[in-house]
C-alpha cells in the first residue's frame, strides 16, 4: 500500500529529528493502515495523538509504569472523528505522566525542546508541541487540564487551542481532573487548528459532559474584517515577575490589533490571584478520585505477591511502584483536601473561588462587550531542563492558563515573533480567552496575531 505524500514527509522528518527530541513514543506501521483518502478538511494530514488518548493501535501508556503495556480495546471519539475527516493517525506523542506536569520531565520518558534541546518543551502535552514545533507533523492532539496544550505550544512556537469545556468529547481520554480536562489541537497555524476543531467538536452520546450544540464552521471569520473586534488587555497579568519579553510581546500584540482596526480595552481581573491555589486543590482532589481505579487489580500493572502479603499490600506496592513521584504527590494532596475535617476548609473554598473567577470573566466580557481577552500564556520562555526542582515554582508556570480551565472558557496560545522578543531565540506565545462557545471569533482574533 502506498503512503500518502504528507505522511511520507512526516515519517521522514520523524526519522531525522526525533532522535534528539524524543517527542514520539510510537510510530504506527503505515503498510496496513487506512490510507487516509477519505474526503474532508484533513484528508491525508498526518496527526500525532497524545499518549493519554485511547487508540486501538499501539499502547496508551500515559507515560507511566502503571499503564506501560496497556492496549485499548477502543478508539477515543476524537480519533474516530479525525479518521472520518480523512486524517491519518501516525503515532503517539510523549507527555508528563498522567498529564501531571509542565515540562514533560515526569514519567518513563522525557522530551526535549524542538530547537533548544537543553530546554524543556513544556507540558503536559510536550511531545505533541515539540513534534509540531519541529515540523515533524502539522497537527497533533493534546489534552488541557490547566494549560497543558497552551503552555507547551508557547514554549515550542506553535498554536495551541483549548476549546470550551464540553465542546469536544472526552470519551477515550484517560481522566486526570474530569471537570477541567479538555482535548484540543496543537497545530502549525490557526487555520489548521480551526480545521481540526471542525472535525473533532460536537456532541457524543458516550460522554455525558459533551454539550449538545449544532456543528459549526470555526474558520468562518478567519478572512473577515477585524475592525469590529473588541479585545480586553488584561493589564493585571503584565507584572514585573514576568520575563520582560513576555510583557513586551503582549503589548506589541495589542498594538497589532489596534493597527488592524480592533478596539483595545484595558481591564483588570483581580480574582485571578486565587486561580493557581484553587486549581491545584480542585485538580488534585479529582485526580485522587480518578486514579483510585489504578490499583493493580482493576487496572494497572500488578506486582507479584510474596508469601504472607495481603490485598492491601498489593494495592500499596502497585501504586508505589506504578506511579511516579509527581503523581503520588498530587494523589496525596487530593486525598488530604477531601478528607474529613479539611473538605470545607480547602475543597469547598476552592469551588467558591472558582465560581468567583467564572463570574468575574462573565462580568468583564459583558460589561465591556469584549470578543476576547489578551494576556500572556506563560510568565517566561522555555526553561532549562532540571532547572526547576521546587514543585511550587513548577506549578506557577500555569499561572496564566489555569483560569480558562476553571471557568470552562475557550483559550488559544499563538506564537509571537518580532525583533524585540527574539532575543535568545526561544519562542514566546501570547494568549487569547473568549466567552464560552465563542471559538470562531477567538480564532479570528488569533489569525490577526499571525500576520506581519
162 is catalytic: no
Beta strands per DSSP E along 217-366: 230-234, 263-267
124 is catalytic: yes
Whether the upstream peptide bond of residue 124 has omega within 30° of 0, thus cis, is yes
Q: According to the 3-state scheme, what is the secondary structure of 105-130?
A: CCCCCCCCCCCCCCECCCCCCHHHHH
* CA atoms within a 13 Å half-sphere pointing along the CA-CB vector of 91: 22
Exposure string of 101-111, with b = 16+ CB inside 10 Å and e = fewer, is bbbbbbbbbbb
Q: Which of 61, 72, 128, 148 is catalytic?
A: 148
Check if the beta carbon of residue 100 is closer than 8 Å to that of residue 215. Answer: no
223 is catalytic: no
User: Which neighbouring-strand residues pair with 234?
Assistant: 267
Residue 209 exposed, middle or buried by CB count within 10 Å (0-12, 13-18, 19+): middle
Q: Determine the Cα–Cα distance for residues 107 and 96; give it in Å rounded to an integer.
A: 6
Q: Determine the Cα–Cα distance for residues 434 and 412; give it in Å rounded to an integer.
A: 9
Q: Determine the Cα–Cα distance for residues 427 and 442; give it in Å rounded to an integer.
A: 21
φ, ψ of residue 170 in degrees (nearest 5): -100, 5
Helix axes 439-450, 244-259, angle to 10 degrees: 100
φ, ψ of residue 137 in degrees (nearest 5): -140, 155
User: Which neighbouring-strand residues pair with 375?
Assistant: 431
Q: Determine the Cα–Cα distance for residues 350 and 354; give it in Å rounded to an integer.
A: 6
Q: Which of 61, 102, 124, 194 is catalytic?
A: 124
Q: Which of 378, 381, 382 is nearest to 401 (CA)?
A: 378
Q: Which of 10, 50, 103, 413 is catalytic?
A: 50
Q: Any idea which residues carry the catalytic annotation? A: 50, 124, 148
Amino acid at each position: 500500500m502506498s503512503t500518502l505524500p504528507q505522511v511520507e514527509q512526516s515519517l521522514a522528518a520523524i526519522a531525522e529529528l526525533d532522535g534528539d527530541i524524543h517527542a514520539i513514543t510510537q510510530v504506527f506501521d503505515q503498510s496496513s493502515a487506512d490510507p487516509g483518502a477519505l474526503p474532508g478538511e484533513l484528508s491525508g494530514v498526518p496527526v500525532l495523538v497524545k499518549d493519554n488518548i485511547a487508540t486501538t493501535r499501539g499502547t496508551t501508556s500515559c507515560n507511566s509504569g502503571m499503564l506501560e503495556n496497556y492496549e485499548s480495546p477502543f478508539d477515543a471519539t476524537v480519533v474516530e472523528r479525525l479518521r472520518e475527516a480523512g486524517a491519518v493517525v501516525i503515532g503517539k506523542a510523549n507527555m508528563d505522566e498522567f498529564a501531571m506536569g509542565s515540562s514533560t520531565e515526569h514519567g518513563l520518558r522525557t522530551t526535549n525542546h524542538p530547537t533548544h534541546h537543553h530546554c524543556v518543551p513544556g507540558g503536559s502535552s510536550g511531545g505533541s508541541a515539540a513534534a509540531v514545533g519541529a515540523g515533524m507533523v502539522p497537527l497533533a492532539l493534546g489534552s488541557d487540564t490547566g494549560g497543558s496544550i497552551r503552555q507547551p505550544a508557547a514554549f515550542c512556537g506553535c498554536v495551541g487551542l483549548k476549546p470550551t469545556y464540553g465542546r469536544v468529547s472526552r470519551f477515550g481520554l484517560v481522566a486526570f481532573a474530569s471537570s477541567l480536562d479538555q482535548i484540543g489541537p496543537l497545530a502549525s497555524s490557526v487555520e489548521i487548528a480551526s480545521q481540526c476543531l471542525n472535525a473533532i467538536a460536537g456532541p457524543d452520546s458516550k460522554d455525558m459532559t459533551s454539550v449538545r450544540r449544532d456543528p459549526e464552521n470555526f474558520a468562518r471569520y478567519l478572512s473577515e474584517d477585524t475592525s469590529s473586534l473588541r479585545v480586553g488587555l488584561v493589564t493585571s497579568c503584565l507584572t514585573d515577575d514576568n520575563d520582560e519579553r513576555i510583557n513586551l510581546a503582549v503589548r506589541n500584540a495589542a498594538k497589532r490589533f489596534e493597527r488592524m482596526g480592533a478596539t483595545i480595552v484595558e481591564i483588570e481581573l483581580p480574582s485571578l490571584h486565587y486561580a493557581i491555589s484553587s486549581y491545584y486543590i480542585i485538580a488534585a482532589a479529582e485526580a485522587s478520585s480518578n486514579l483510585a481505579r489504578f490499583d493493580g487489580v482493576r487496572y494497572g500493572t500488578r506486582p507479584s505477591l510474596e508469601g504472607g502479603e495481603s490485598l492491601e499490600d498489593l494495592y500499596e506496592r502497585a501504586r508505589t511502584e506504578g506511579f511516579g513521584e509527581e503523581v503520588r504527590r498530587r494523589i496525596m494532596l487530593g486525598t488530604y483536601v477531601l478528607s474529613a475535617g479539611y473538605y470545607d476548609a480547602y475543597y469547598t473554598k476552592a469551588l467558591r473561588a472558582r465560581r468567583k473567577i467564572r463570574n468575574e470573566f462573565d462580568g468583564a466580557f459583558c460589561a465591556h462587550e469584549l470578543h476576547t481577552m489578551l494576556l500572556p500564556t506563560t510568565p517566561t520562555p522555555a526553561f532549562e531542563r532540571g532547572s526547576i526542582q521546587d514543585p511550587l515554582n513548577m506549578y506557577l508556570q500555569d499561572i496564566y492558563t489555569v483560569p480558562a480551565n476553571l471557568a470552562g472558557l475557550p483559550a488559544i496560545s499563538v506564537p509571537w515573533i518580532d525583533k524585540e522578543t527574539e532575543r535568545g531565540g526561544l519562542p514566546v506565545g501570547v494568549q487569547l480567552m473568549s466567552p464560552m462557545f465563542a471559538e470562531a471569533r477567538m480564532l479570528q482574533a488569533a489569525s490577526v496575531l499571525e500576520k506581519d
